[in-house]
Amino acid sequence: MIGAASLALGAIVIVLFGSWLIRRFRGGGSSSDRRQSAKSHREAQNREPPVDVGDERTVGIEEFTVHHSGERQAVTKVEGFVVFVEDVPSDAEVADVIEIKILSFNRGHTSATGAYLGRA
Which CATH superfamily, name and number, covers 56-119?
A: Nucleic acid-binding proteins (2.40.50.140)
**From CA 32, how far away is CA 7, in angstroms rounded?**
40
What sign does the CA torsion over 106, 34, 47, 59 have? Answer: negative
Alpha-helical segments (H) within the chain: 4-26, 31-46
Q: Quote the pLDDT of residue 45.
A: 74
3-state secondary structure of 120: coil
Do residues 86 and 44 lie in contact, with contact meaning Cβ atoms separated by under 8 Å?
A: no
Pairing, β 111-119 against β 97-105: antiparallel
User: Is the pTM here over 0.85, yes or no?
Assistant: no
Pairing, β 72-78 against β 81-86: antiparallel
**From CA 113, how far away is CA 75, in angstroms rounded?**
10
Domain-wise residue ranges, the chain: 4-46, 56-119
pLDDT tens, per residue, the chain with 120 residues = 568 888 888 889 898 888 877 777 766 556 677 788 788 777 777 788 999 999 999 999 999 999 888 899 999 999 989 999 999 999 999 999 999 999 999 988 889 999 999 998
